[in-house]
Amino acid sequence: MDFHRSPNHDNRPDDVGVDMLVLHYTGMQSADAACERMCDPGAEVSAHYMIDEDGTVRVLVPEDRRAWHAGEAFWRSNTDINARSIGVEMVNPGHEFGLVPFPDAQMAALEKLSKQVIQRYSIVPVNIVGHSDVAPRRKSDPGELFDWARLAASGIGLWPIGVEPTSPDAIDANALLDGIGYETLDMEQTVTAFQRRYRPAQIDAIIDDETAGLIQSVHSLVDAC
């Protein structure tokens, strides 16, 4: 691990424990540029960790401090997501500079780090989220090339398997997405965020049979947690 010091953090509130893990991409041209930005007091952004493409983990903010990564966000009725989460930035140019697949070494390092964090705070699978899950109207990271299925296969986060297509008329998509944890102020954006995570091959904001089946399936996983 490499240690850097970001000044961009403050106290966690006393009455809130860590119960979420939020994953991001840096969305900048290089790892060093992203690291510099998160260590710039003027930028007022940070994360607890940043993982380079080669798997190097940079420690930016101690876990007991509230890092500034999620911004205006919402998950399962909570809005101060920074207060209750550990934030991890995956180095990737992102949609702006050219989204690329996340290399194996980088994903392996994330798996290792995530397992430690999840164990430390007993974080439940539904609370392992992407930035776009908690800020669907503003954010699209870590993006549709991020391999959530791989993470789930090693016990990190939710992933539905054996999904049956369902008629959209047979479900209350709004209620089910709300039940998973999403804000539903703008359903088009919420469905887009859901698809970016669970159906990356087709992100069109349309609730067709496949998306309806996925929404129902993920919701049932949450219920089972």
Looking at the annotation, which residues are catalytic? 89
Peptide bond connecting 142 to the previous residue in cis, omega within 30 degrees of 0: yes
Position among 52, 133, 141, 210 found at the interface with Zn ion (CB under 5 A): 141
How many CB atoms lie under 10 A from the CB of residue 217? 19
Our CB check for Zn ion shows the closer of 131 and 199 to be 131
Q: Which stretch binds Zn ion (CB under 5 A): 7-15, 73-81, 107-115, 128-136?
A: 128-136
How many CB atoms lie under 10 A from the CB of residue 80? 15
Contact track, Zn ion, 22-41, x by CB under 5 A? --x-----------------
Position among 9, 48, 84, 131 found at the interface with Zn ion (CB under 5 A): 131
Our CB check for Zn ion shows the closer of 76 and 131 to be 131
Give the C-alpha separation, 103 to 46, whole Å: 23
Q: Which stretch binds Zn ion (CB under 5 A): 76-84, 141-149, 177-185, 215-223?
A: 141-149
Report the nearest approach of Zn ion to the CB of residue 98 (Å): 17
Contact between 9 and Zn ion per CB under 5 A? no
Rounded to 5°, angle at Cα 69 from 63 and 71: 130
Contact track, Zn ion, 72-111, x by CB under 5 A? ----------------------------------------
Our CB check for Zn ion shows the closer of 81 and 176 to be 81
Closest CA to 79 of 26, 13, 125: 13
Residues 6+ apart with CB under 8 A from 23: 88, 90, 110, 128, 129, 130, 131, 142, 146
Report the nearest approach of Zn ion to the CB of residue 214 (Å): 23
Contact between 133 and Zn ion per CB under 5 A? no
Whether the Cβ atoms of residue 189 and residue 137 lie closer than 8 Å to each other: yes
Contact between 210 and Zn ion per CB under 5 A? no
Segments in the chain forming alpha helices (H): 31-38, 94-97, 104-121, 131-134, 148-153, 173-180, 187-198, 209-224
Question: For residue 187, which phi and psi values (nearest 5 degrees)?
Answer: -60, -35
Residues at the interface with Zn ion (CB under 5 A): 24, 131, 141
